[in-house]
């Protein structure tokens, strides 16, 4: 069955998966979604015997239907290889009553590696399939992790360039050092004076600039995105939820068909949307727990049906979740609106003009499988300390938000189902916050000294991703105002702004 992709705003004709991956964002500003969510065609017993790569093929073949078997298997083999520090790719650790799905064993020690290891291969394959002669310019905004994972994935990939914008004062020191030391002749990193939402809005504005698009085309360039707005990011993320269920079945932790809960620390809504798609494919998920930090715009949305970004932006110890405009939520809104592009467009227009919108009561009923929760900074720190003291297992700040929300949910509802928590980053990316939560004095030490201390405390080796940037030279020192992003793009590409 061929799956085509259409815009959440209703414009244009449906296109193939490879064309959607190349475009990134639809011409009308909408996000690409599959015309229908396919059903899994393998049993859970079959999945329980699969490697990560085998499971990836069985899931992704259902969405990327214009890729041949050989093309898709080649992309998967190139993505999930020795870049990961474990052959399992996504191990599951049981700690304090939950199963932590560790998604941080890739090159940049964050869950973004799970999709961004394969996106460059999907994209370059798509370019050949669609006879694209232009150089593809990957344009990305990051709240901390996407940037480095995308840079690592696309560095020196022939026929591509990559430009990453990040909030200059809104990422951890390790996250920033990872990006600004990135090698590769085709890479360009810019800090902006603003927050992630400013960076994301600026990137969307550049994508929507028809005059700039035409100028680029005349110079042999075309834009695409590595953000989670690209369907080529979302599809690979579905895989690990399916894989984790098979792994739990293999280990005898669950029975085939048994319902589980899934908890995801959430910012841009892509990671939890992937779990929602997996549920719609047949994964037995009872509840999807959407965990927010003090920027609790999603919590308030699930409580009230009103999405309102008009609030104070809070800088927290979980910076990848410091987001007030959750772009991927649009895909969910479109679905619960019954696939009505006009209704979705009207709501997104309200968000753009007024900063908020309200969904209908009928749409709100469609959200019953979600539970919104949030954790304060104090609750996050307490959860890190509690899990460490009880089990010796160390959570990063984002995973701790999810864990704290799960504890609240369990106490509130008495729900005792087996639960998978998406562990989205290594604690070594947030050493200061993690060690302070555990009770270590961090006032005098730099982040790399703290990495050594965390290694001792957690009894885990310092990851290669941290070791290799200790003394790495800063290559990218570009900074701009949020209204200067388009000029930075033009300067890097050598065209007139």
What lies within 8 Å, CB to CB, of 483 at 6+ separation is 202
One DSSP character per residue, 282-328 reads T--EEEEEEEE-S--HHHHHHHHSEEE--S-----S-GGG--S--TT
| Cα distance between residue 136 and residue 299, in whole Å | 37
Q: Which helix (H) or strand (E) holds 430?
A: none
Output the CA–CA distances (angstroms, integers) from residue 432 to 104, 173, 396, 438, in the order listed: 18, 10, 10, 10
CA distances from 202 to 199, 207, 214 (A): 5, 9, 18
Nearest to 240 by CA among 391, 52, 438: 52
Distances (CA, A) of 98 to 92, 239, 261: 10, 20, 10
CA angle at 73 for the pair 130 and 133, rounded to the nearest 5°: 20
Considering 112, 177, 204, 429, which one is annotated as catalytic? 112
Rounded to whole angstroms, how far apart are CA atoms 196 and 315?
11
Q: Which residues have C-beta within 8 Å of that of residue 366, sequence separation ≥ 6?
A: 335, 336
**Of all residues in the chain, what percent are helix, strand and coil, respectively (each to 5)?**
45, 15, 40
3-state secondary structure of 252: coil
Chain center to CA of 218: 32
How many residues are recorded in the chain?
497
d(CA 53, CA 62): 15
Residue that has been written with the tokens 């009928």 in this structure: 362
Cα 184 from Cα 161, distance rounded (Å): 9
| C-alpha dist (Å) from residue 129 to 18, 21, 76, 124 | 8, 12, 17, 9
Q: Does 112 qualify as catalytic in the annotation?
A: yes
Residue in the block written with tokens 């028809």: 210
Cβ neighbour number for residue 440 with a 10 Å cutoff: 16
Q: Compute the distance between CA of residue 104 and CA of residue 110 in angstroms, rounded to an integer.
A: 4
Nearest in space to 370 (alpha carbons), one of 319, 329, 414, 399: 329
426 and 463 Cβ atoms separated by less than 8 Å: yes
CA 484, 323, 109, 162 torsion: positive or negative? Answer: negative
Catalytic residues: 112
């Amino acid at each position: 069955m061929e799956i085509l992709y259409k815009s959440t705003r209703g414009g244009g004709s449906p296109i193939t998966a490879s064309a959607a991956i190349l475009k990134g964002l639809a011409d009308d500003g909408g996000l690409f979604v599959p015309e229908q969510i396919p059903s899994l065609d393998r049993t859970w017993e079959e999945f329980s015997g699969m490697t990560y790569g085998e499971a990836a093929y069985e899931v992704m073949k259902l969405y990327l239907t214009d890729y041949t078997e050989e093309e898709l298997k080649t992309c998967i083999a190139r993505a999930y290889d020795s870049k990961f520090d474990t052959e399992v790719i996504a191990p599951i650790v049981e700690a304090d009553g939950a199963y932590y799905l560790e998604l941080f064993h890739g090159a940049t020690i964050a869950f973004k590696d799970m999709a961004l290891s394969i996106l460059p291969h999907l994209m370059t394959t798509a370019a050949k399939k669609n006879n694209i002669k232009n150089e593809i310019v990957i344009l990305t905004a990051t709240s901390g992790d996407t940037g480095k994972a995308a840079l690592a994935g696309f560095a020196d990939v022939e026929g591509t360039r990559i430009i990453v914008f990040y909030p200059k004062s809104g990422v951890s020191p390790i996250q920033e050092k990872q990006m600004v030391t990135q090698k590769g002749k085709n890479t360009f990193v810019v800090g902006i004076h603003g927050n992630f939402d400013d960076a994301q809005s600026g990137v969307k504005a550049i994508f929507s600039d028809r005059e700039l698009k035409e100028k680029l085309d005349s110079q042999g360039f075309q834009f695409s995105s590595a953000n989670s707005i690209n369907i080529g990011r979302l599809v690979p993320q579905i895989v690990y939820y399916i894989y984790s269920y098979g792994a739990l079945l293999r280990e005898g932790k669950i029975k085939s068909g048994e319902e589980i809960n899934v908890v995801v620390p959430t910012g841009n809504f892509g990671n939890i949307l992937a779990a929602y798609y997996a549920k719609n494919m047949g994964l037995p998920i009872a509840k999807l727990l959407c965990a927010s930090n003090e920027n609790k715009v999603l919590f308030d949305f699930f409580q009230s049906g009103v999405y309102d970004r008009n609030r104070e932006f809070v800088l927290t110890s979980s910076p990848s979740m410091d987001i007030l405009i959750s772009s991927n939520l649009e895909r969910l809104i479109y679905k619960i609106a019954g696939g009505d592009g006009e209704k979705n467009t009207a709501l997104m227009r309200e968000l753009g003009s007024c900063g908020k919108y309200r969904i209908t009561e009928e749409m709100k009923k469609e959200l019953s499988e979600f539970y919104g929760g949030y954790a304060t900074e104090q609750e996050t720190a307490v959860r890190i300390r509690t899990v460490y003291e009880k089990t010796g297992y160390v959570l990063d700040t984002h995973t701790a938000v999810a864990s704290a929300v799960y504890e609240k949910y369990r106490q509130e509802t008495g729900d005792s189902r087996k639960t998978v928590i998406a562990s989205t980053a290594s604690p070594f990316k947030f050493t200061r916050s993690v060690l302070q939560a555990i009770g270590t004095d961090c006032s005098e030490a730099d982040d790399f000294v703290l990495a050594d201390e965390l290694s001792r405390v957690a009894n885990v080796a310092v990851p290669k991703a941290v070791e290799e940037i200790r003394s790495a030279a800063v290559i990218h020192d570009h900074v701009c105002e949020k209204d200067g992003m388009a000029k930075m793009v033009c300067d890097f590409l050598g065209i007139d702004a």
